[in-house]
Amino acid sequence: MEREFMEYDVVIVGAGPAGLAAACRIRQLNEEVSVCVVEKGSEVGAHILSGAVFEPTALNELFPNWKELGAPLHTEVKGDDIYLLQSGEKGQKVPGFFVPKTMHNEGNYIISLGNLCRWLAEQAEALGVEIYPTFAASEVVYHEDGSVKGIATGDAGIAEDGSHKGSYTQGMELHGKYTFFAEGCRGHLGKQLISQFKLDEGKEPQHYGIGIKEIWKIPAEQHQQGLVVHTAGWPLAENGAAGGSFLYHIEDNQVVCGLITDLSYNNPHLSPFDEFQRYKHHPVIKQYLEGGERTSYGARAITKGGIQSQPTMHFPGGLLIGDDAGTLNFAKIKGSHTAMKSGMVAAETVVEALKAERTSDDMVEYEAAYKASWAYKELYAQRNFGPAQHKWGNFIGSAYAFIDINIFNGNLPWTLSDPKPDHAQLTPASEAKQITYPKPDGKLSFDKLSSVFLSNTNHEEDQPIHLKLADASIPLGSNLAMFDEPAQRYCPAGVYEIVVEESGDKRFQINSQNCVHCKTCDIKDPAQNITWVTPEGAGGPNYPNM
Ligand SMILES: Cc1cc2nc3c(=O)[nH]c(=O)nc-3n(C[C@H](O)[C@H](O)[C@H](O)COP(=O)(O)OP(=O)(O)OC[C@H]3O[C@@H](n4cnc5c(N)ncnc54)[C@H](O)[C@@H]3O)c2cc1C
Ligand code: SF4
């Protein structure tokens, strides 16, 4: 049966900072251009998870009067502390002079990126953009000549066994003269497009981290609005892994804290979730959280390969923008401003293409326009930060970054390489150090299930599992023997379990209803056997202010 379709000049997948900035800019430049945005969350912002210390550079360009328009940037950064944690007890504040200048946050704001996206969506709608939350783009639709024609939203009302339920509704196609893919880190359709158009040819593999975050309401006397605290070292360093933590004092006596674990870690016994739980017991962190109440939990992967790993962003009929194309600046641990800028440049490019009455061709000129932007220039200057951290670890890697960025302004005449993909990094479980994590105390640390509860995750129960195994025998057949099936530990929502039946037989169980859409399994599975696909629209977390 042919699907119904609607036609637009530009279709945008994903209402994050990249997609919404692109949508707003298009309509600012030409209000005749029709623009539609689809978003898989139950509302705009429901699936957005970030730190976030926000650099307002792109927003200043997009809406110079954002203060008058009421943008939710309420907390200016007032202090910037960086600690090197040597152990579970000891921590040393790093003198400001030694901190790479990319980690200084004067002029930035501590925000909820979800709330900023909600506000951007209001601005976009006021400019005439059509936004459809609860619509997950599940398929790319192609013209006969192979160029992208648009997307199809998923069917709803399909039972787990594939039969149609009473509520069945067929998905529809949204056709665009051009389609922008702005799905964020490890976009499901972006991944297909990269493979289809070989957009990663000649590039380094993309690298990732998994960020696990909580929001806390803390006693007023422990709160210092505007204080930003970052740490490196313990607990990850103790288990040979890299990454770092953030703790930001936002308004209303709230603190947001999280740990980003580089997904290049080697030890299959490592659990990013448990590392984060024990991190909160460090005296540097505990001093802020003690006596407080955890109100929200979530997780999301982060792209961190930098320009060496950025795929070609243009292809016939569309563009990849934002973290779908890896525009995050890892040296700053910030990607919202660069994602927005990549979307704004995309908007300027498409408006010119439409003015010339072009359609569905390859906007090759986007590459030069993006490379001329400040977003690319800052990524270029800080291109060696991530590979240096991987090559030499947090400590020496940061010393290198200090010299490269603070002293030479990123002008050193070489580009470091990081050629091994994250999924190929695990050592066999039998050769790796066993890790025993402390039991959660229910005050500062918690278990996975009570955590997922706070993410308000909800999926229609009777639907096909959206975590597809290419080969169902791999989890027990090879992953368990070789790596003690690491999915049990890297998934921050307890989706993957090895269940031992009464008979003693083992079964690989996928609790897909708990999935918070972080995409870590799609990235880290050593056999690259798991593919995350879109579940029925609106499924997933419902973050209020992540
Ligand atoms: C733990 C953590 C901390 C961070 N801290 C900071 C920080 O302090 N400062 C900073 O600037 N950046 C930070 N970042 C990075 C920043 O959040 C990202 O760079 C930024 O959100 C990227 O924007 P985006 O629009 O490309 O993608 P996203 O923000 O990921 O938005 C993508 C949107 O597309 C939707 N979507 C995805 N697939 C589909 C589909 N198929 N159909 C329909 N909708 C879809 C998603 O639901 C989502 O709403 C952090 C990230 C993490 C994970
Ligand atoms: S199943 Fe995959 S995408 Fe979902 S929460 Fe677990 S690791 Fe993340």
SS3 letters across 165-192:
EEEEECCCEEEEEEEEECCCCCCHHHHH
**Residue 112 near residue 52, CB atoms below 8 Å:** yes
β-sheet bridge partners, residue 6:
174
Specify whether the backbone of 157 is left (phi greater than 0), alpha (psi in -120 to 50) or beta: left
Specify whether the backbone of 239 is left (phi greater than 0), alpha (psi in -120 to 50) or beta: alpha
Distance CA 194, CA 522 (A): 15
What's the whole-model pTM score? 0.97
Report the separation in Å between the CA atom of 144 and the middle of ligand 1, taken as the mean of its atom positions.
Answer: 32
Is residue 159 classed exposed, middle or buried when 0-12, 13-18 and 19+ CB atoms within 10 A define those classes?
middle
> Which residues fall within 8 angstroms of residue 178, CB to CB, at 6 or more apart?
9, 10, 11, 317, 318, 319, 350, 353, 354, 359, 360, 363
> Which residues fall within 8 angstroms of residue 449, CB to CB, at 6 or more apart?
494, 514
510 Cβ below 6 A of ligand 2 = no
Distance of CA 415 to CAs 279, 379, 382, 400, 468, Å? 33, 12, 10, 13, 37
Ligand that lies nearest to the alpha carbon of residue 211, given by its number in the listed order: 1
62 Cβ below 6 A of ligand 2 = no
Candidates 323, 379, 536, 545: which one to mutate for ligand 1, based on the most atoms within 8 Å of Cβ? 323
491 Cβ below 6 A of ligand 2 = yes
Measured from the CA of 524, which atom of ligand 2 is nearest? 7
544 phi and psi angles, rounded to 5 deg: -75, -45
Residues touching ligand 1 (Cβ under 6 Å) are 13-19, 38-41, 47-54, 113, 136-137, 182-185, 187-189, 211, 213, 258, 260, 300, 302, 322-324, 328, 333-337, 339, 534
According to DSSP, residue 198 is labeled T
Report, as ranges of residue numbers, the positions in the chain whose pLDDT lies below 70: none
Report the separation in Å between the CA atom of 195 and the middle of ligand 1, taken as the mean of its atom positions.
Answer: 21
The beta-strand segments (E) located in 424-505 are: 467-469, 496-500
CA nearest ligand 2 atom 2, residue = 521
The rounded radius of gyration (Å) of the Cα atoms in the chain is: 22
Report the separation in Å between the CA atom of 347 and the middle of ligand 2, taken as the mean of its atom positions.
Answer: 32
Q: What is the dihedral of CA 329, 330, 332, 334, to 10 degrees?
A: 60
CA nearest ligand 1 atom 34, residue = 14
Report the separation in Å between the CA atom of 435 and the middle of ligand 1, taken as the mean of its atom positions.
Answer: 31
CA nearest ligand 1 atom 19, residue = 335
Structure confidence at residue 169 (pLDDT): 93
**Residue 277 near residue 437, CB atoms below 8 Å:** yes
Structure confidence at residue 397 (pLDDT): 78
Report the separation in Å between the CA atom of 43 and the middle of ligand 1, taken as the mean of its atom positions.
Answer: 14
Report the separation in Å between the CA atom of 322 and the middle of ligand 1, taken as the mean of its atom positions.
Answer: 8
> Which residues fall within 8 angstroms of residue 517, CB to CB, at 6 or more apart?
40, 47, 300, 532, 540, 541
CA nearest ligand 2 atom 4, residue = 515
Structure confidence at residue 336 (pLDDT): 98
Report the separation in Å between the CA atom of 14 and the middle of ligand 1, taken as the mean of its atom positions.
Answer: 9
CA nearest ligand 2 atom 8, residue = 518
The beta-strand segments (E) located in 86-226 are: 91-93, 109-110, 130-133, 137-142, 148-153, 156-158, 164-169, 173-181, 208-217
Structure confidence at residue 312 (pLDDT): 98
